[in-house]
A and B are shown apart, each in its own frame.
Chain A
Amino acid sequence: AQSVSQHNHHVILSEAASLELGCNYSYGGTVNLFWYVQYPGQHLQLLLKYFSGDPLVKGIKGFEAEFIKSKFSFNLRKPSVQWSDTAEYFCADYEAGKLIFGQGTELSVKP
């Protein structure tokens, strides 16, 4: 059975701190990995995606993620967070047509 797991449920950081959110996937088929963000009261928006090629993927708003096949990981990073990054972050993977999400990580950035 496939799954997507996110290690951190709630992360609290101060502005300018660096961020890394963990994501592991288990599906052994074609790689289709995503990070989505959900700002309070809003719907999900795509941050970045990885299908193939350069394992370091750059997304919007200064976010990036690194695909490490040997570790089945796709961790999200940002060198310096801002208060406006306060949101919930979801890792996701396709498996046989289904889009499966991790449990989500709530990020709180203190000004």
Chain B
Amino acid sequence: NAGVTQTPKFRILKIGQSMTLQCTQDMNHNYMYWYRQDPGMGLKLIYYSVGAGITDKGEVPNGYNVSRSTTEDFPLRLELAAPSQTSVYFCASRPENTEAFFGQGTRLTVV
């Protein structure tokens, strides 16, 4: 099993550009999450999903969108990139009633 796979690993965007961070899991997990991690700030929940077709906002959803058309995929979309979105993004998934598994992360820089 590949687990949770995030692509790309690194990306530099210009202000105002858009991009999609991909997240795929092959463990048939219902729950999926997107976090951003900034130095000294811990992990902030952006969006989450409890199953295909269902998504909900976390603590810091502004400037982001998600979709969950399949169990496996949970892409995160940035429409108009801003310097404040420079961060490391982690995707995670979990089954019912146990721990979450994390992807390797995407380091995004907006210039």
Chain A residue at smallest Cβ distance from B4: A43
In the complex where A43-B90, A43-B105, A44-B90 touch, is A99 in contact with B100 (Cβ < 8 A)?
A: yes
Q: What are the interface flags for A76-106 relative to B under an 8 Å C-beta threshold, 1 for contact and 0 otherwise?
A: 0000000000000010000001111111100
CB distance from B66 to the nearest CB of A (A): 14
- Take A43-B90, A43-B105 as given contacts and tell me if A101 and B42 are in contact as well, using a CB distance cutoff of 8 Å: yes
A104 and B35 alpha carbons, distance in the complex (Å): 14
Chain A 21-51: CB-based contact to B (< 8 A → 1; otherwise 0): 0000000000010100000001111100101
Q: What is the interface size of chain A, counting residues whose CB is below 8 A from a CB of the partner?
A: 19
How long is the Cα–Cα vector from A44 to B105 in the complex, in angstroms? Answer: 9
Kindly supply a per-residue 1/0 record for chain B positions 6-43, scoring 1 wherever the CB is within 8 Å of any chain A CB and 0 otherwise.
00000000000000000000000001010100001111
- Check A103/B98 contact, CB under 8 A, given A43-B104, A97-B31, A97-B48: no
- Cα A66 to Cα B99 in complex, Å, equals 18
Give the residue of A34, A42, A100, A101 whose beta carbon is less than 8 angstroms from that of B99. Answer: A34
B residues less than 8 Å from A97 (CB atoms): 31, 48, 50, 56
Assess the A43–B103 pair: CB atoms within 8 A: yes
Distance A103 CA – B50 CA, assembled complex (angstroms): 24
Query: Of B42, B50, B97, B102, which one neighbours A32 at CB under 8 angstroms?
Result: B97
- Complexed CA–CA distance, A9 and B35 (Å): 20
Cβ A99 vs Cβ B42 within 8 A: no
A46 contact set on B, CB distance < 8 A: 99
* A90, B42: Cβ atoms closer than 8 Å: yes
A-B contact pairs, 15 of them (CB 8 A): A9-B40, A32-B97, A34-B99, A42-B104, A43-B102, A44-B92, A90-B42, A97-B48, A97-B50, A98-B48, A98-B58, A101-B43, A102-B42, A103-B41, A103-B42
15 more A-B residue pairs beyond the given contacts A9-B40, A97-B56, A103-B42, with a C-beta to C-beta distance below 8 A: A42-B104, A43-B103, A43-B105, A44-B90, A51-B97, A98-B45, A98-B48, A99-B31, A99-B48, A99-B100, A101-B35, A101-B42, A101-B43, A102-B42, A104-B43
